[in-house]
Amino acid sequence: MVGYFFEVLFARELERRERSTWRGTQSKEEKDLVYLPNPALSVEIKTSGQAGFKVYGNRSYGQKAGNDLLVKKEKSGYYLTVNFFNQTLTLVRFGWIDADDWDPQQSPTGQMAGLRPAVYQSKLLPIPGAYRQEGPVILLQGIGSQTARQLADLGIHTIGDFLHYPGELSARFSRIREANRPFLNECVD
């Protein structure tokens, strides 16, 4: 639900600021952000509130348009993907996703489609910024629930806390920091 509200509010704010260029969707056949000068350049928004950095489409995203009469809009195109955790924005990415990048669940009753790892690595560009520092430390590679509890004992709860911790970190936590260095570098302005 939070993702849906984000989509609607983002589209309305963009339309308010750039009325002659952008507007929100008005039908199921349109992308979420309609680029008025050239609708082929419109943008679909996908959000996920699950812990982590993946996004999902409904099962129709893994269906071929020619075989499924339920497919209402072109699945290839520009995407804005937004990850959040609770009420915290954790990652925003932008890029081009092809229709065949979506894999439907194997179960015939499955309701979602996911993206292959290569799509996250090479087709979606992360939007860097300090907003990412507010994410929970458990989103960092190499930190599970037990390690997160140990960090919490040090007062480290967010990625920003981990990035700017003023004290000496153990060798183990220093290795985790180094393993996440490219990600942490994107978390600063």
Paired tokens of 17: 């600021």
- 147 with 86, same domain? no
Lowest-confidence region among 60-64, 83-87, 144-148, 161-165: 60-64
- 88 with 138, same domain? no
Beta strands 57-58 and 43-48: pairing type?
Answer: unpaired
Q: Where are the beta strands (DSSP E) in the chain?
A: 22-24, 33-35, 43-48, 57-58, 77-85, 88-97, 102-104, 112-115, 124-126
Q: Under 8 Å CB-to-CB from 33, ≥6 apart: which residues? A: 10, 11, 14, 22, 23, 24, 25, 42, 43, 44, 45, 80
pLDDT digits (tens, 9 = 90+) for 71-127: 567 889 999 999 998 889 999 999 999 999 988 777 666 678 889 999 999 999 999
Lowest-confidence region among 5-9, 62-66, 148-152, 170-174: 62-66
- 95 with 139, same domain? no
Tell me the average pLDDT of the chain. 87
DSSP 8-state secondary structure symbol assigned to residue 107: S
Q: What is the pLDDT of residue 72?
A: 62
- 112 with 28, same domain? yes
- 101 with 146, same domain? no
> Among the three residues 127, 150, 168, which one is the final residue of a domain in this structure?
127
Q: What is the pLDDT of residue 28?
A: 87
Q: What is the pLDDT of residue 108?
A: 64
> Among the three residues 95, 112, 127, which one is the final residue of a domain in this structure?
127
pLDDT digits (tens, 9 = 90+) for 27-51: 988 999 999 999 999 999 999 988 7
